[in-house]
Structure formats: C-alpha cells, structure tokens
Amino acid sequence: MLLNNKRGIMNHLLIDFENIRPENLNKLNEENTHIWLFLGVNQQKNIALELCESLCRFGKNVHFVRVAKAGKNALDFYLSFYLGKITEQDPQALIGILSKDGGYDVLIEHIQDNGLANGIVRLVSLDDIQLLPNTSKPSEIVIPKIAAGSAESASENQIQSGGYSTKDLFLVMQALREPQAFLPRSYGNLVSRIQNIILADQWTNYTDELRQTQAENLVAALLKKGLIEKQPDGLLTYHLDAEFILKKIEERALSSKAKTLEKLYNVIRSSLAGFGIEADSHSMQQFASSLEKRQLIRIKQSKIIYAPFMPSEKIEVLPQTESKMTAYQPNTSVWQKILALLSKKNRPTKLSGLRNILKSQEKSLGLKDGEIELLLTRLQTKKHIKVENGKLQYKS
C-alpha cells in the first residue's frame, strides 16, 4: 500500500551502508525525517564529504549505528533490531530501507501483513522514493520521536495533524468499490459507516473521539482525491468507476514524465495503490500499451518519449507492444536461476516481495531496464505463479 514523494518525504530511512553508499541525500526532505546510517566495521573510518554535508540538513535526526564486530549478516541483524524498535514506538511511520539485500523482503512482508507501519518498502536507489505511500501533505505529517510512547499516542499525533492511515484508506476504498456496496449520500452517514462498519474491527481500541476524527480525515482524503464530491444540496456523489480511476492514473502517469518503462510502472503501481488496487505486471503492461496506441507516449528499448513529439524524434511506434511483451524470451541461464529461486522454502508470498528480490539481483543477473516486469509476466503466462490480490500462488 501506498506521502507525496516528489520531495522525498518519509519518516525513517535505514541505510545499509555496507550494501549501498549514496553520494548524498538531496532527494529527501529533511523535515521530520530520521536517517539511520548502519556502518559495518570497514565503513566507519571514511564517509564521503558530500554525504556528510547532506546529512547536516537533518540535524539531530541523524543516527549513526556502528556494528561492533565483523561477521556474516552482522549489520543485517543490527538493522532488523532497530527496525523493530521503530515499528514498536512509531507504528504510524513511513519507512524506507536502502539496500540491495533481498533478504529484508520477508521481514518487510511481515510488517506489512501485520500493519506494524503505515508504509514500508525496500529501495535499491533513492530514485525509487516514489514507491513509498501517498498519504498526505508534508506539512500534515507529525513524527513522534523514537522515545515517544505507545501506538495510541502516535495515532493521536497523526489525527491532530489532519493525517490518516494509508492502510485504513486502502480498506475504505476496497469496501466502497465492492459491486453491491452501500454508498451513503450524506457526509454524516459516510463518516458513521466508516467508523461503525467498514473499520469497526480495526478501531476497537480507539476512543469515540478518535474514531470520529479519523473517519472525518478519511472522508476529507476521499474528497481531495476527487473520489467523492459534495453537491450544492449537501449530498455526496461518488466517482469510483473504473473509467474515472483510469483517467486519474493516466493523468499522473503522463505528468510524471518517467523516462523508462520500469519507472512508469512504479508510478502506475503507486497510483493504483492510492485507489485501493494492487497492480499485477500484465495490467501495467496493458496500460502502457494503451498509452502508446493512443499516441500519448512512444516506447523504444524501454525508454519513453511523451507527446507532443518533435519531428526529429524518429522513433517507430510499435502497435504490437503488448504482444511483443508476451513473446519475450529471457536468457536461458537467467530463467533457470529464477525458477531455482521460486523453489526455495522461504520464497516470497507477495508479488511485491518477488519484484523486490528480482530488483536486488538485477545487476548480477544482467537484466535490462524494464525486464523484471517482462519476467513476472512470463512466470504468470507459463503458470509458474498465479497472482490474486497481490498474493502469490506457486505451481509447486
């Protein structure tokens, strides 16, 4: 599930410095952002000046964690320990783990499945910051300090700031988009339905005042997204149909100006998540193919050019983009390695987890830009995996 990340807003960024050494953190907004720099034994003496200068922007919110002794996976255990502390004391946090190590994905899935954070994702580059959830304006985010109290106090802070839980919004969207869903026509009835029916089980420990405020914040979010509209007579109209949602996603995809297919897929994926929908690879490829057929974009070797096109841009428009994707043939050695990965006992249970594992091994497998989505589609076409609501079922 999926902060306005055009300026890189997040609550906590944990950096596996053994694995990835960013040149700087200029893509991150320093306001209310905690940086956790995990340093292995061999990384504690030399840190680039440019990185040090960019860390200064975050002031007291920079935390250096030094691994005391060298050892296999030592830094991983340190990072996992501190991640547990963060989710315990800041349960409404949006968390990024900057690492190429796919071993964190199982832990990330556990945190997601149990709602232990507002949002969490592994990043292999700060360019992937858009993978983080889209929940509220930067000015609306209040981050409790790590020494702060319980989940209840974190929720209070979030509500006082006008925020809301991404997970709650996801559940509300799913409920309202059910085929036979009851859609209240008045503002008060919608607020009441959210707190007393749709999210009643999730909010059993909330006070009445907290439930009311949180439900009002969720309705405000739906109004802001244009999913509901208040008419002059005070009644609500709903815009939850597929055509409206696809139009909104198309607008965001085109305005993003993503330069590669993979980055475009990331935009589509995060946009769909904002409407309570989890995208599969085939759907995203169909969407990109539709944009190309309507002359809104041109795709050449996974690179994207946007309309209006210049006469000098002599790029052939391929009307059969979708069929080309389904006819994709991976390198035999790469394909065998991926099938071997799927046979492991600790294989991922979600499509997002499998995608992150492939992304972490992109260079070692020699994958080209955009090839991960082609591989995921081929795995489904060949019936090695089946995807239902973002969860994976394996052939064997």
Task: Let me know if residue 248 belongs to a domain.
Answer: no
Q: Note whether 14 and 134 are same-domain residues.
A: yes
- Return the pLDDT at 321: 45
> What is the average per-residue pLDDT within 281-287?
81
Determine which of 109-123, 146-160, 353-367 has the lowest per-residue pLDDT on average: 146-160
* Residue 171 structural domain: 164-238
Domain final residue, candidates 238, 268, 286: 238
Q: Note whether 177 and 94 are same-domain residues.
A: no
Give the chain's domain count.
Answer: 4
Q: Note whether 91 and 212 are same-domain residues.
A: no
pLDDT digits (tens, 9 = 90+) for 250-270: 888 888 888 888 888 878 877
- Return the pLDDT at 7: 37
Reported confidence tier of residue 312, pLDDT bands at 50, 70, 90: low
Q: Note whether 16 and 98 are same-domain residues.
A: yes
Q: Note whether 301 and 213 are same-domain residues.
A: no
Q: Note whether 16 and 83 are same-domain residues.
A: yes
SS (H, E, C) the chain: CCCCHHHCCCCEEEEECCCCCCCCCCCCCCCCCEEEEEECHHHCCCCCHHHHHHHHHHHHHEEEEECCCCCCCHHHHHHHHHHHHHHHHCCCCEEEEECCCCCHHHHHHHHHHCCCCCEEEEECCHHHHHHCCCCCCHHHCCCCCCCCCCHHHHHHHHHHCCCCCHHHHHHHHHHHCCCCCCCCCCHHHHHHHHHHHHCCCCCCCCCHHHHHHHHHHHHHHHHHHCCEEECCCCCEEECCCHHHHHHHHHHHHHHHCCCEHHHHHHHHHHHHHCCCCCCCHHHHHHHHHHHHHCCCEEEECCEEEECCCCCCCCCCCCCCHHHHHHCCCCCHHHHHHHHHHHCCCCCCCEHHHHHHHHHHCHHHHCCCCCHHHHHHHHHHHCCCEEEECCEEEECC
247 has pLDDT over 80 = yes
pTM of model > 0.85: no
- Return the pLDDT at 149: 32
Reported confidence tier of residue 163, pLDDT bands at 50, 70, 90: low
pLDDT digits (tens, 9 = 90+) for 92-149: 788 889 988 878 888 888 887 777 887 788 888 776 664 454 443 332 323 233 333 3
- Return the pLDDT at 320: 44
Reported confidence tier of residue 79, pLDDT bands at 50, 70, 90: very high
Task: Let me know if residue 214 belongs to a domain.
Answer: yes
- Return the pLDDT at 6: 37
pLDDT digits (tens, 9 = 90+) for 6-63: 334 458 999 999 888 888 887 777 777 899 999 888 877 778 888 888 888 888 888 9
CATH number at residue 179: 1.10.10
- Return the pLDDT at 218: 92
CATH number at residue 27: 3.40.50
